[in-house]
Amino acid sequence: MLDRQPTLAHPAVTLRAATAADWPALFAAALDPGIWEGHPAHDRWQEPVFRAFFEDGLASGGMLVAEDPVTGAVIGSSRFDFSRAEAGEVEVGWTFLVRRHWGSRTNHIMKALMVGHALASVDRVIFLIGETNIRSRTAIERIGASLTDRQTTAQLSTGPVIHLFYSIDRAGFECGPLLQLWAERLS
């Protein structure tokens, strides 16, 4: 059974289980409207919208907080979720990072830690990306995820949004760009 609230550590980022006490730090990290430009939920920087995102993450049982291991600062979050996954799968996603970590390896490292951890228990990791979210679609393709023929419509604060499914299985992970980052993790 997949532990959806592990502590996963790399020299560049630490992921740990989210708690209700993380609200102030995560909301402070999410307050930058620039994070959400181009995202289907472009209003997620607003308190009521982010509150719903945060509460949904906690309710999922798999929300992780991303911290800078040097400063301890909260820099974002991600989550493991089974609600849209089929047998043998887990979803990794609903990730956001403060902009100072954009263009760095942080997002790739977070995905490497989560995918590597998940594939010890499931056959495949899926990612749901808003059809118009080009930044996230490009990022997920760069880490070796493949577009599938599945899609769903999610109701966001901005209205219904078509989400495309991407996936990485064990073979794809073992020959893809995340494997080296997984190997750099701290025990």
**Rounded-to-integer distance, Cα 152 and Cα 183, Å:** 33
Mean pLDDT by 10 residues, the chain (187 residues): 95 98 98 90 93 96 97 97 95 95 92 98 96 90 96 89 96 96 92
Determine the Cα–Cα distance for residues 47 and 28; give it in Å rounded to an integer. Answer: 10
Select from 17, 13, 1, 61 the least CA-distant residue to 182: 13
Residue ranges per structural domain of the chain = 8-182
Spell out the residues 6+ positions from residue 129 whose beta carbon is closer than 8 angstroms to its own. 93, 136, 137, 140, 163, 164, 166
176: number of Cβ within 10 Å: 18
Report the predicted TM-score, pTM, of the whole model to 2 decimal places. 0.95
HSE, side-chain direction, 13 A CA sphere, residue 50? 23
8-182: what CATH class? alpha beta
d(CA 8, CA 27): 22
Percent of the chain with pLDDT over 90: 87
Based on the number of CB atoms within 10 Å of its own CB, is 2 exposed (0-12), middle (13-18) or buried (19 or more)? middle
